Structure 1
Amino acid sequence: MPRILITGCSSGFGLATARLFLDRGWDVVATLRKPDPTLLPPSERLRMLQLDVTDAASIARAVEAAGPIDVLVNNAGFGVPSPIELTEPDMARALFETNTLGTLAVIQAVLPALRQRRAGVIVNVSSSTTLKPLPLVGLYRASKAAVNALTESLAEETRPFGVRVHLVIPGRAPETQFGNNAFPHLRGSEHPDYAPMIARVVAQMRDSTEPTTQTSDVTEAIWRAATDATSPFRIAAGADAVAWMAEAG
């Protein structure tokens, strides 16, 4: 059976992707910073490994323990909504270290074996926030836009080696931790100048009747990227992401 390694499996898209590939008969290496065996049903085809994408030694241990990988899904990441002016330098660095440099580090650990075998797939999970200017997610958006650029160049570099690379772009998913929980804890909500804008953005999100993204939209997009050699480089996941990608051209 093919084997997939997925980062960020503690919740959200990563956990749901691990479940989907297990249900469809794959060997799954689910990685997360703090392994919790209760998150997924026991299976001979499941390995749960500790992996912190900001820790090179952790990545190396997990990749070695995982064995040969056919598909890598870089899903680990986080976001903290905040006006750019009020984003602390440590938080800005943490966003890039996890979302961008963490993705890079895992790629660099897994790609040599794929290149040598002349086969494999890398799927990087980005965000629809990269498709249009949006307030309060500037640093998160920038970290994911860097992932987009990295992935575009990676696809060109690995094509001669038979390694496919895809970018999955999810829309807003209220059922995930970020989509559902982050905005009530916005930085700057008490700031006299930023508070009105923040309140307006939160209300617009709460009251919006526009389509959003379901977790299943994202897992199916990742499945398509992993299993369908004819799938496009960029795959929008969710009705809102599809619409935004069409607008962006």
Structure 2
Amino acid sequence: MTDGLWSKVRDQFCGLEMPPKPTGNLAYRVTLRINEISDPDVLDLVAMTALNIWIGPGMHAVGYNVRGGELFNMVLLVPDDLPEGVKRQQGNTAELRKLFEGWDPIIDNTEKWKLMHHPPLKSLATKSGRFIMACDSCHPMLPYFAQGANSSSEDAAVLGALMSKVSSVDDLQKIAPIYENLRRERVKRIQAETFIHRDRFYLPDGPEQIQRDKHFALSFNSDSWAHPNIQTWLFSYDAYQDAEKAYESG
């Protein structure tokens, strides 16, 4: 079961209200129609089929193509100034321009989204296995590490592998703890890493920032794939295969 970050089912599953907590940041979301851009410098940038990342003290921005290159989506993360209880608000373009003064001028209509997080759950399934939590309802991922969709896909791969072994309702009792063991600690570590990644992004100018930039430069060298996070999270885990092995050994 997954009903997202603001899950009501999660509260019932855990037996108490567990609302998400603010991170201290918010996200401006910007969508540009590429065919409406006339500035050649901006057009060259947004037309690239690549992930563009801008990082700086206390803020960062990410941009990438969607809809087969028709649109350019940007998410700009800044300190949270939304009133308490407000999750989403129409953005102010002038305000955004002021925040990113001196950065690349790729700004259009915007919306402000408060960034919230939720602590890891102690359990992801009932003992009977008839109810299993997955995706943002039990491990919402912040955008600092771009692992939300990836983690949810892993959930699906593990569940798919395990459910392929089920021939009766009684079999669910066996797969529930396997699912928990495979997913709980992994997503917990990734959630923790998102905050570490945020801190790396938002370093003020100085020696640590210079060292970070050298490290990041290596990560974009296709010959080395030197960034440890790339190897740890993105390429070294076969969720489906691990689920198969865990079931056979369990």
TM-score, scaled relative to structure 1: 0.26
Please give the TM-score of this superposition, normalised by the length of structure 2: 0.26
